[in-house]
Amino acid sequence: MTAGKRPLSPHLQVYRPQITSVLSISHRFTGAVLAVGLLLLVYWLAALAAGEAAYAAALGVLGSWPVRVVLFLGVFAFFYHLCNGIRHLWWDTGRGFEIAQVYRSGWIVLLASATLTLVAWGLLLAGGGA
């Protein structure tokens, strides 16, 4: 068998995605999304500091539906990254490595992230903040 006809290491073309790999890649992606999302927070804070007219203009931009979609996804990214980070801290204690536990905790992370996102937006909308 020649080594040139097969991948030298595990490769995306060889393995089909599993919840563990998808959640791992998503954790890295949401970390990057949160770093970029800080730019929106800085924009909002700068507008708040710049005065009433700048703040009103910023609210006009941040209140548009495309930006609201981005903000909704950003809130989901925050809660996903938080919940998955807690999962990783649990793993750091040496627990939760059985296959069934890994899958169960992965689904819990997804469910908790979605629930927390919906609760946060529900509270935001109920308070008239959006």
- Do 76 and 67 touch, CB atoms closer than 8 A? no
Q: Look at the pTM and tell me if it is higher than 0.75.
A: yes
Q: According to the model, what pLDDT value does residue 17 have?
A: 86
Q: According to the model, what pLDDT value does residue 14 have?
A: 73
Planar angle of CA 43, 44, 48, nearest 5 degrees:
115
Average pLDDT by consecutive 10-residue portion of the chain (130 residues)? Answer: 64 80 95 95 97 97 94 97 98 96 98 98 86
Alpha carbon distance 4, 72 (integer Å): 46
Residues contacting residue 88 through CB under 8 Å, at least 6 positions apart = 27
Alpha carbon distance 56, 64 (integer Å): 13
The number of beta carbons lying within 10 Å of the beta carbon of residue 83 is: 21
Q: According to the model, what pLDDT value does residue 15 have?
A: 77
Q: According to the model, what pLDDT value does residue 12 have?
A: 66
| CA separation, residue 87 to residues 16, 25, 53, 81, 116 (Å) | 23, 15, 43, 10, 16
Q: According to the model, what pLDDT value does residue 130 have?
A: 62
Q: According to the model, what pLDDT value does residue 37 have?
A: 93
Q: According to the model, what pLDDT value does residue 1 have?
A: 52
